[in-house]
Amino acid sequence: MNDIQPYFKWREKYIASEDPKSPFYNVVNNEFQYTYKIYNYWIHPQWNYFGSDTLYLKVLYTDYDKKYAIIEFIGEWNDCLHNDIMHLKREVIEAIMKEDISKFVLICDNVLNFHGSDDSYYEEWREEVSEEGGWICVLNARKHIRDEMQNTGLQHYLYFDDATDDIIWQSKTPEQLLLLIEDLMNRQTKQLYY
């Protein structure tokens, strides 16, 4: 796991630690020393801690004009034991939402497990972004993670389905990824009403 680093090819466009509006502004990641572990495994020092001991993230891109943020995750998303959604919502999402961000892309290629609990933080988050015409989309979650999210009822608050699996997002610009997701969501909405 120590070789898996956050996606870095958008760094010429955006760096969260250099963005005064970011919750990670002025956070310095050590390039040479491992700091964080997920269980007994060291993770790459570029990942950011936000209060969870099993889930870490990196805000890859934020566009304040188009009101969206792209966040990549690594580890085990555990709402059952560690209440990861509470830490994520209170420490990261709320700070980003204060800057009028209402569209969230959650990249889960490196999320290994998901353990659900209740859905209250997801419901709160969804209600808040919906007021602004926003949404929350989960990309590339493994099947067992999607199944557990569905068993927890998160499909009512997060957008994820077969179309959001296996998206090769690394070959796109952030703007292209936003357009792709909005297109998928618009198609899904049309299918629900026709």
142 burial type by CB count under 10 A (0-12 exposed, 13-18 middle, 19+ buried)? middle
Confidence of residue 189 (pLDDT cuts 50, 70, 90): low
d(CA 180, CA 53): 32
Cβ-count burial of 72 within 10 angstroms (0-12 exposed, 13-18 middle, 19+ buried)? buried
**Order of strands across the sheet with 103-115?**
55-63, 68-78, 103-115, 135-139
pLDDT tens across 44-61, in order?
A: 999 999 999 999 999 999
Tens-digit pLDDT profile for residues 17-50:
999 999 999 999 887 788 899 999 999 999 999 9
Q: What is the mean pLDDT of residues 12-16?
A: 97
Decide if pLDDT at 109 tops 50: yes
Distance CA 30, CA 110 (A): 21
- How far is 159 from 5, CA to CA, in rounded Å? 25
- Give residues with Cβ within 8 angstroms of 191, minimum separation 6: none
Confidence at 11, pLDDT banded by 50, 70, 90 = very high
Dihedral sign, Cα of residue 174, residue 178, residue 184, residue 185: positive
* Residue (of 112, 168, 164) closest to 138 by Cα position: 164
Calculate mean pLDDT across residues 73-90: 96
Structure tokens, 72: 């990549």
DSSP string for 13-36: T--GGG-TTSTTTT----SSS---
CATH class, 16-193 region: alpha beta
> pTM to 2 decimals?
0.95
